[in-house]
Amino acid sequence: MNVADSRDQALSLLTAALNHSDLAVKLSSLKQAKDILSSLDSSSAAELFPYLSDLQRSPHSLVRGFLVEIIEDIGLKSIEHSTVLVPVLVTFLRDVDSNVVKQSIVCGINFFCSVLEELTLQFQQHGKVDQWLQELWMWMVRFKEGVFSIALQPGPVGIKLLALKFLEMHVLLFTSDNVNSEKYIEATRGSRRTFNISWLSGGHPILDPVAVTSDANRTLYILLDMLQSASSLPGSVTITVVNCVLSSSLLRS
């Protein structure tokens, strides 16, 4: 099957996933579409990203959750085309289904780190930052704000725990260069190369090292303030906050 035929078949499957009345057919169509999209080159797959984005309107939480899986699998491989997909993750932070919210936070964390790395490496290698990447970073900032809001407001414990881990990661990412912090973040994210704030030492048109370090400090103070009201928090949340503060503090020492 040539690229055009594969693209047409994927489009037909995505349309079925959006419009068919049977949930089993929707999910089966999505799985097949995902397999086809994974086989296409990034440019060809990206032509169908707007149709993927339309699936966020699905009334079925299983479809929305599967959409997040596809965004993570396909979007990270075609990150230069993902400005259509990342807004879906920001929208899903307010989803009525807690599992969709949790999936979106986990997926968004991976995007946040990947975009951050690309943002610094592109400037180091080419002396500029492409417009698509600037736009993608703006969405990552919105994602960060959404997750911070979840961490600070009442809500389901499972979602809050993931949001708090994002706050911890945010502190560690933008903490002054420290070998231990790099090892810690690497261990939490697997074998992928990870961002290090020392990459900003020569300056950057989007990321001001002073500003991001200050933001990390404010985030740590937020976690410390939460400890002041630990008696009113669920036990699992308190434990997570304590662990976040300890790891952040130790890596700054």
The tens digit of pLDDT for each residue in 61-70 reads 999 999 999 9
Give residue 223's pLDDT band: very low, low, confident or very high (50, 70, 90).
confident
Other Cβ atoms less than 10 A from the Cβ of 22: the count is 10
How do residues 227-250 score in pLDDT, each as one tens digit? 877 677 778 888 888 877 777 665
By the 8 A CB rule, do 165 and 159 touch? no
Asked whether the whole model's pTM tops 0.75, one would answer yes
How do residues 34-61 score in pLDDT, each as one tens digit? 999 999 999 999 999 999 999 999 999 9
Residue range 4-28: average pLDDT?
A: 94
Give residue 221's pLDDT band: very low, low, confident or very high (50, 70, 90).
confident
Return the pLDDT at 194.
72
Question: Is 1.10.3720.10 the CATH classification of the domain at 58-252?
Answer: no
Ordered by start, the domain boundaries in the chain are: 58-252
Return the pLDDT at 251.
54
Instruction: Give burial (CB, 10 Å; 0-12/13-18/19+) of 16.
Output: middle
pLDDT of 180 above 50: no
Mean pLDDT, the chain, as a whole number? 87
H-type helices in 78-130, by residue range? 86-92, 98-126
Compute the chain's Rg from CA coordinates: 19
| % pLDDT > 90, the chain | 62
By the 8 A CB rule, do 137 and 206 touch? yes
CA angle 74–79–81, rounded 5-degree value: 90
More confident residue, 181 or 37: 37
